[in-house]
C-alpha cells in the first residue's frame, strides 16, 4: 500500500479555506480516483513543536492506494481539473510525497 501525502506549508498571511478543502475538493478528488483510492484523510494544522509556534503545515491530506501505478493511472485523466481547483481554496503551493506504508495498526 502507498500513501500520497499532500501538504500545505504554513505561511503567514496565506489563504486556506478548510471548509472548501474538506467538503468540496477532497470528495471531488476521491471521486476522480475511484477504486484506486481505498480511503483518504484530511488534517488541519494546529500548532508547531514549540509553545505558541504555528504549525509546519496549515493542512495535509493523504490518499491510501494499493500502488503508485494504480494512483497514477487513476489521476492521470483528471490531473488538470484537480490542480485547477487548488485556486478555489488556497494560494499555497502544495508539497507532495509518495510513501510506502510499512505498518498500519490500530488499537481501537
**Contact call for residues 19 and 105 (beta carbons, < 8 A):** no
Instruction: Give the CA count within 13 Å in the CB-facing half-sphere of 53.
Output: 7
Q: What is the CA radius of gyration of the chain?
A: 15
Return the domain boundaries, the chain: 2-52+69-100
Mean pLDDT by 10 residues, the chain (108 residues): 98 97 98 97 96 96 97 95 97 98 86
Burial 47-77 (b: 16+ CB within 10 A, else e): eeeeeeeebebbbbbbbbbeeeebbeebbee
Task: Give residue 31's pLDDT.
Answer: 97
pTM across the whole model: 0.92
Task: Give residue 108's pLDDT.
Answer: 81
Out of 3.30.70.100, 3.30.1330.10, 3.40.190.10, 3.60.130.10, the CATH code matching 2-52+69-100 is 3.30.70.100
13 φ/ψ sector (left φ>0, alpha ψ -120 to 50, else beta): left
Amino acid at each position: 500500500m502507498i500513501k500520497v501525502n499532500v501538504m500545505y506549508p504554513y505561511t503567514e498571511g496565506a489563504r486556506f479555506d478548510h471548509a472548501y478543502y474538506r467538503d468540496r475538493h477532497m470528495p471531488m478528488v476521491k471521486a476522480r480516483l475511484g477504486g484506486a483510492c481505498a480511503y483518504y484523510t484530511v488534517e488541519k494544522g494546529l500548532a508547531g513543536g514549540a509553545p505558541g509556534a504555528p504549525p509546519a503545515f496549515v493542512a495535509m491530506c493523504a490518499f491510501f492506494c494499493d500502488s503508485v501505478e494504480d494512483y497514477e493511472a487513476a489521476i492521470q485523466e483528471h490531473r488538470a481539473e484537480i490542480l485547477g481547483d487548488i485556486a478555489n481554496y488556497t494560494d499555497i503551493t502544495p508539497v507532495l510525497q509518495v510513501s510506502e506504508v510499512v505498518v498500519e495498526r490500530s488499537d481501537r
